Chains A and B, each alone.
Chain A
Amino acid sequence: MFHTSTSLKNAIKQVEQVVVGKREAIELSFTALLAKGHVLLEDVPGVGKTMMVRAIARSIGAEFKRIQFTPDLLPSDVTGVSIYNQKTEQFEFRPGPVMSNVVLADEINRTSPKTQSALLEALEEGNVTIDGETRPLQSFFFVMATQNPIEYGGTYPLPEAQLDRFLMKLKLGYPSYEEELEVLERVRMNHPIEHVEEVLTIEEILTMQQQVREVYIDDSLKQYIVDIVTATRNHKDVYVGVSPRGSIALMRAAQAHSFLKGRDYIIPDDVKYLAPYVLTHRIHLHPHVELQDHSQEKIIDDILSATKVPVSSSKMVKRG
């Protein structure tokens, strides 16, 4: 356990060399990765999304593919295609980028819903269906999709049901003034991505993903998760609350986060810390509320500061 967390920290350090001052986002990305989840990055272009994903892939020695989603992108451009080889007179499968370990799906909201759903199927099912044939994906598969903020023109917003497929939604945001100076300094000679070392292997990651599932969660914290999720469903401004899939996601994320922090049990802080990233894209507000500048983030914050944290129970004291 100790060893694992050290190598994880090393990996995070490697990525941090490339993306300045985004430790939190990097850690969260690794959390999602360990929880076998995928990340939706919602941000303006040019803040280092691609670099971060590439660095993560590199640090764990994973194969990296990037798909630039455009309005004319076809599903087969994502999943791969069977083409007829005239020499062998057989259909040969050309795997698409999604058959890679780490996939960056750039500007996912700029393509047609048809193509989007091809990717999303891959996210949820862990396999793709091409020409009626189901093909498994890589055993280690991690997608980071980026999305321009909704109000940009020429986009196809992701369907609500499909947003649910991402474990968490992150924002990178602009670096601070000093961080940006640091960015300039780092890229002056050559790009730091070239220096990222491979500190983990895919096999190790797979083992860790397995270990994450073993992280203990106390019943009181399960209740805490359900309390939070239920609160989103009962909130007056919320049109559709978090689904049970969201509860599972929150627990998985918390497990991974505990693991990342070197613990084999979840503490409420994990849940509380992750809830905004895991839950905000899973709730949908009443249209009139959305107009009043009530963001999902604020509602999740409100719910967290109103939900009682389990800190002690009589059973504990009796147990001794």
Chain B
Amino acid sequence: MIERSLLSFFTYMCGYLLLIEWLLPLPEVSSTGYISLFIAVTGFFFLIVFLDFPAWITLPTIGGIILLILHLLFYEETFLSLPWWQVFFEDIFHHLGHMITGTWQETSHSFQSLIFLLLLAMMSYLLYFWIVYAKRILFFFICTVIFIGVLDTFFDYDGSWAMIRVTIIGFLLLLLLQWSRLTSYFPVFDQKKALTRWLVVSVAILGTAIFVASLLPKSGPTWEDPVPYVQEFLGIEDPHRFLKNNEVRRVGYGDDDTQLGGGFEQDDRLVFTAVADREVRYWRGESKNVYTGQGWETNTPLELVQESNLYQSHVEAKRNEVDMYVEKEMRYDFVFYDGSLEQFRVPDEKAEVSIDNYTGKAYKHRNGEPFIAHYYETVSASPVLFEEELRESSEVDPAHIEEYFLQLPEHLSPEVEALAQSLTENEETRYDKVRAIESYFHSPIFTYETENVPVPEEDEDYVEQFLFDTMRGYCDNFSTSMVVLLRSIDIPARWVKGFTSGEKVGSEEGRIVYEVTNGNAHSWVEVYFPSVGWVPFEPTKGFSPESYPSIETEEKEEEEKQEDEIEEMVEEETEGRDNQSSQKVTSWVQLLLFIMPLLLIGILYKYRIPIYKKYLQYRYNRIDDDMKFVKAYLALMTLFKMAGHNRRKSETFREFAKRMDQEYETNDMSLITEQYEQIYYGNKRPSPLSEEIQKSWENIIKRIKS
């Protein structure tokens, strides 16, 4: 029998606080949003579970809350309408598959939230079992401490205060639960006094310990940054190797492109954050020039220069200053840049870049050693290109371009060239041909897909497989195929890898802030125009080829204006949407704030009987004179009324007492009623009152059902 008392409510709420400590760091170590909403919802779960309604009330309520939260966060359809359910179930069934195969990164936010909410609901049950039923918390307490410790050590989360909070809550819980376990074994007569003593002593010890601990000097951390230490310990010296081990089946920026194909896992780990003056199209890493039939290699000579020369010097360009914040665990010794890299600077360091003239890869180094900088500033040139300029470009390529950028594998099927010819037969200029081939990849016959992309057999060509067989794939398929098609009609092209611009997360003093994750890793195509330089093209379906800001038509002024307007509109729209969702959340927080007091009142109401019982026991712990007895007796009548035993007004106390004695199988009520009658109807003042009266009175209080 579980006695649901104030004590168990209090301990259960302490359990809630412990669980909250698991939720609080989530936004800092993962991309979890709306954490306050989750915390509030968890609070709801805890209350609902604690109120211990029958399952047919509890479960639908929890289910309803989960659906409501999902609706508020993700769905546009009318809540619980037919289309809403359709979307909901499609979402679930689609992502259940991902869950079973373990490809978590593929699942949508809504599905993850659903699972997360279910997990929270289960945790509230589990903690209820632990705290209220089993009265044990040590395991969960230790887990929480370890969790905070790990987060504090390996992530950017400062867990000092969390640790203090957890310690206080945890020990408080331990001693309260220990108390309720002890009292269930050994009944204590004066519960209140004993609990007070228990609490005072324990809290004093705990308080002293924490106070002294906070005053004592502490030695510095043994590990400045444990990550390299762990790497060293595991024998992983080369950070790149460490990285490579990690990236085997993950999307991201890697070095090895000799074997393309196969599906990949999504990975939303942040790679770097960039603050740029202007819009960025790509973060360029490097290009590769040799297509082996399976993947890409490089055979260009190493020719290091100080400034990248993607474009001819006469091309008009806009300067773009970028501040890069690279994540700690991302250890690249080269620079990602937008357009053509002109300057590189690491504050307070004598660091430089050397740019490979052929691949455009910009190595960072310091004192001749490769250098991994986590913060640096670049200045690059975003070219302003005009379609006419590209159309009019000379088509006579220099020898070194022809040497390295027209290579094709020997066994390549003539079908490829035939396709390229048929796509470009109506086009005259190189630019139009390139556009024609690019738009071919955006036609409906191709599908963008990251899973179920086969790795070509040994004797099978990666491009042929994609172009003529599967027609499904992701950026590597599209970009490699485009390069091969271009080269088959003698247009020099190369394969470029890097990142897309990433997600615009805001602005900082008029500059744009981009967050780039592993999922933004991308590859595209650069085509050589002798009088311009290397111009990027975007064949991958789903990535807009048109939005490249640097290729403009003649009527650029007007267009710019329009574009600005459109941009503004787009911006407004996105802003509006952001506002809307944040308003939604705020109004929900307000609603929660409104509901909480109601809920509190509800709880007080639900527990009014135990609360009133406790009060009576406290108030009338010694009934020593007749007037006190009369008050105690009348209060008991009130308690009976609260417990649903109504006395009809024509019913005498004696009749009522008899009825209650039958109900609770005692005769205590009749006994004390007789005493009352003596005082009231008999006009007597018996003193002292017999001890039996006190005992009977307390016995009834205990027995009255809550």
Contact = CB atoms under 8 A, between A and B. Distances in A.
Q: Do A and B come from one complex?
A: yes
Residue in A263, A272, A306, A320 whose Cβ sees the most chain B Cβ within 10 Å: A320
A219 to B, nearest CB: 10
Contacts of B626: 320
10 contacts: A216-B683, A264-B682, A265-B681, A269-B652, A305-B650, A308-B649, A311-B647, A316-B630, A317-B627, A320-B631
A216 to B, nearest CB: 6
Given A267-B654, A269-B654, A316-B679, 12 more contacts: A216-B683, A218-B681, A267-B681, A268-B681, A269-B652, A308-B649, A309-B651, A311-B653, A311-B680, A312-B680, A316-B627, A320-B628
B522 to A, nearest CB: 84
Nearest to A219: B683
Q: Is the interface of A mostly helix, strand, loop or mixed?
A: mixed
B601 to A, nearest CB: 29
Size bracket, chain B contacts: 20 to 34
A271 to B, nearest CB: 9
B678 interface: yes
Contacts of B631: 317, 320
A221 interface: yes
Contacts of A118: none
Contacts of B683: 216, 218, 265
B648 interface: yes
Given A317-B630, A320-B630, A267 B652 contact: yes
A38 B251 CA distance: 109
B677 interface: yes
Nearest to B634: A312
Interface residues of A, number: 24
A266 B652 CA distance: 13
A268 B634 contact: no
Contacts of B628: 320
Contacts of B648: 305
Contact of B650 (A221, A266, A309, A317): A309
Interface string B259-280: 0000000000000000000000
B431 to A, nearest CB: 102
B655 interface: yes
A307 B628 CA distance: 28
B257 to A, nearest CB: 93
B687 to A, nearest CB: 11
B654 A307 contact: no
B625 interface: yes
Contacts of B681: 216, 218, 220-221, 265-268
B684 to A, nearest CB: 8
Contacts of B680: 218, 311-312, 316
The 8 closest A-B pairs by CB, nearest first: A320-B627, A265-B682, A268-B652, A308-B649, A305-B650, A269-B654, A267-B677, A267-B681
A309 B630 contact: no
Contacts of A272: 652
Interface in B616-671: 625-628, 630-631, 634, 647-655
Interface in A285-320: 304-309, 311-312, 316-317, 319-320
B680 to A, nearest CB: 6
A309 B630 CA distance: 17
Nearest to A319: B627
Contacts of A218: 680-683
B649 A263 contact: no
B38 to A, nearest CB: 52
B652 A309 contact: yes
A54 B655 CA distance: 34
Contacts of A304: 650
B682 A216 contact: yes
Contacts of A307: 650
Given A216-B682, A320-B626, A309 B677 contact: no
Contacts of A263: 682
Contacts of A264: 682
A311 B636 CA distance: 13
Nearest to B647: A311
Contacts of B684: 265
Contacts of B650: 304-309
A265 B679 CA distance: 10
A60 to B, nearest CB: 28
A221 B681 CA distance: 8
Interface in B572-609: none
Interface in A232-255: none
Interface in B674-706: 677-684
Interface string B420-451: 00000000000000000000000000000000
Contacts of A216: 681-683
Contacts of B627: 316-317, 319-320
A216 B679 CA distance: 12
B678 A311 contact: no
Contacts of B654: 267-269
A92 B608 CA distance: 82
B682 A311 contact: no
Interface string A269-291: 10010000000000000000000
Nearest to B625: A320
A272 B653 CA distance: 12
Contacts of A269: 652, 654-655
Contacts of B679: 316
A218 B678 CA distance: 11
A269 B650 CA distance: 10
A319 B626 CA distance: 10
Nearest to B630: A316
Nearest to A307: B650
A268 B682 CA distance: 11
Nearest to B680: A316
Interface in B179-200: none
A299 to B, nearest CB: 15
A306 B628 CA distance: 31
Nearest to A311: B653
Residue in B628, B678, B682 whose Cβ sees the most chain A Cβ within 10 Å: B682
A269 B653 CA distance: 9
Interface in B124-164: none
A38 to B, nearest CB: 27
A221 B683 CA distance: 12
A267 B673 CA distance: 11
A309 B655 CA distance: 11
Residue in B626, B647, B683 whose Cβ sees the most chain A Cβ within 10 Å: B683
Nearest to B682: A265
A203 B625 CA distance: 40
A263 B630 CA distance: 19
A267 B680 CA distance: 9
Residue in B625, B630, B681, B683 whose Cβ sees the most chain A Cβ within 10 Å: B681
Nearest to B631: A317
Residue in B628, B677, B684 whose Cβ sees the most chain A Cβ within 10 Å: B677
A220 B681 CA distance: 8
B146 to A, nearest CB: 59
B625 to A, nearest CB: 7
A255 B339 CA distance: 113
Contacts of A311: 647, 652-653, 680
Nearest to A309: B652
B616 to A, nearest CB: 16
B650 to A, nearest CB: 5
A317 B679 CA distance: 11
Contacts of A312: 630, 634, 680
A304 B681 CA distance: 19
B268 to A, nearest CB: 71
B551 to A, nearest CB: 94
A310 to B, nearest CB: 9
Nearest to A303: B650
Nearest to A266: B681
A218 B681 CA distance: 5
A269 B626 CA distance: 22
A309 B649 contact: yes
Contacts of A265: 677-678, 681-684
